[in-house]
Amino acid sequence: MRSVRPTTNFFYPFFLLIAILIFRQSASSQDNSPYSRYGLGNTLPGQNIMNRGMGGLASAYADYNTVNFTNPASYAELKVTSFDIGLDYTSRTLRGTNPPRRYTSNNLVPSYFQLGLPLSKTKLWGMNIGLRPVTRINYDILIKTRMQNVDSVNYNYSGTGGTYQAFTGFAYGNKVFNIGFNVGYMFGSKEYSTRLSFINDTVFYKATNSSDSTRFGGLFINGGVQFKFKLANKVTMRLGAHGELKSQMRAVRNITRQTIDYSATNGTSVIDSIYKGDNELGTIIYPATWGAGLIFQHETDWMFGAEVNYGRWSDYRYFGVTDNLVNNWTIRLGGQIIPNYQSESYWSRVAYRFGASFGPDNINLNKKVPQYSFSLGAGLPVRRNVYTNQYTLINTSFEFGFRGNRENDLRENLFKLSLGLNLGDIWFNKPKYQ
């Protein structure tokens, strides 16, 4: 007699452990993006890997085993418990115009960890527990120039840090309407320094170092709604909107201004501290954002949609000070095709995805910085285990992005390869025997 009982996959704790280890190691990954000097760093993708394959289309998307944390209203559609882990490999190429120069960096970082749970067998109730990085700071820039009436000088700008969100969310829905929210804690660090050193040709000058180290954290909340309308047999139109309220985080900053001596053999030694400020209290304002979109979907064959996202980055404040940030918008277009969901051919049951996005960056350095990207993706189903009701889906996304154009002094080309592992199971069923 065989017991037909869904059980928790033995590998789930293993994947959780790997995710935690990757998050801990991600800060040491190599990367170099001068744009991350502004605000709290480069904004990382705010969608799961499945949605990124469609250009980031997520406002109106929901299904039974995808944890779409962009719009928490989608949790109401969950029918299976879903562990969703994402990993990103990014290759970034920088091109400068004055003087002409080129630099390439690569890094491997976690994208998110999610646990989606259906809360009812008969009603559309769902929840999610998640952890994800939101922004990333990582740059190291050397500028060589000459001061008037002074010898040649080197400016070395460097910074590290980033922002994370740990949260839980809940959603409720019915046949035509879903509503949900996420609430959690946003936290992170921002560490940067500016080192000024002289190439002493005639007169000897000491070098200086200015550094700031900040830790911050605070509560945040975001929410969303979705509407569903049946247009024809198996064809549905979905409308969705989501937004995150402006949040205020408490921050503690340490500041040092030093005269230093530096050599390649002995490293850095402090000669004199010109200024030192410890544990200065302040606040960081993280701006409000929102998005809205629509999707036309055939039950098993295809899906197409569009959406717009907007961020009020001019509201950003760091200890009361603004930055080179402006309000920005992004248009996203995308879709998915499954050739034949019931076919015996594996590749006919794969979900093929494509998309694009475009709009101005939230950084403005006297000129607008345009950005646009193109994406391809695939949802690779793994054979369902009929005795345990366990489902596994591997999501992949290939993104090609561009930041800046020939009018900007600095351009970034970005290639991102993302891998998501979605492990689904049906929990809380009573054992049955046959």
Tokens of 304: 């197409």
Which residues have a Cβ under 8 Å from the Cβ of 393 and sit 6 or more positions away? Answer: 65, 379, 380, 381, 382, 422, 424
Domain range for residue 325?
A: 3-257+283-433
Tokens in use for 374? 């193109």
Q: Which position has the higher pLDDT, 276 or 343?
A: 343
Least confident of 13-27, 52-66, 159-173, 245-259: 13-27
pLDDT at 203: 60
Kindly state whether residue 108 falls inside one of the protein's structural domains: yes
Residue 264 in any domain: the answer is no
- Predicted model pTM: 0.85
Domain membership of residue 266 (yes or no) is no
Average pLDDT over the chain, rounded to an integer:
84
- b/e per residue, 214-251, with b = 16+ CB within 10 A? bbbbbebebbbbbebeeeeeeeebbbbbbbbeebebeb
pLDDT of 265 > 80? The answer is no
Query: Within 122-162, where are the H helices?
Result: none
| Residues 6 or more apart whose Cβ sits within 8 Å of residue 149 | none
**H-run or E-run covering 307:** strand 302-311
Residue 409 predicted with pLDDT over 90: no
Q: What is the CATH number of the domain that holds 58?
A: 2.40.160.60
Structural domains counted in the chain:
1
Q: Which residue has the higher pLDDT, 52 or 7?
A: 52
Mean pLDDT to the nearest integer, 384-402: 77
Q: How confident is the model at residue 127 (pLDDT cuts 50, 70, 90)?
A: very high
C-alpha 276, offset from chain centre = 34
Segment 290-305 shows an average pLDDT of 94
Q: How far apart are CA 296 and CA 303, in angstroms?
A: 6
Q: Is residue 277 part of a domain?
A: no
As a whole number of angstroms, the distance between CA 284 and CA 287 comes to: 10
**254 vs 199, higher pLDDT:** 254
Residue 267 tokens read as: 């490293």
The pLDDT of residue 180: 97
Among 101-105, 197-201, 207-211, 217-221, which range has the highest average pLDDT? Answer: 217-221
Rounded Cα–Cα distance for residues 151 and 182 (Å): 55
Residue 112 has pLDDT above 90, yes or no: yes
Contact predicate 336/54, CB 8 Å: yes
Does residue 268 lie in a domain region? no
If we measure between CA atoms, which residue out of 274, 299, 281 comes closest to residue 216? 281
Average pLDDT over residues 242-270: 79
* pLDDT higher at 327 or 381: 327
pLDDT of residue 25: 47
DSSP letters spanning 113-132? EEEEEE--SSSEEEEEEEEE
Does 142 map to a domain? Answer: yes
Most confident by average pLDDT, 90-99, 314-323, 341-350: 314-323
Residue 290 lies in a domain: yes
pLDDT > 90? residue 55: yes
Structural domain contains residue 158: yes
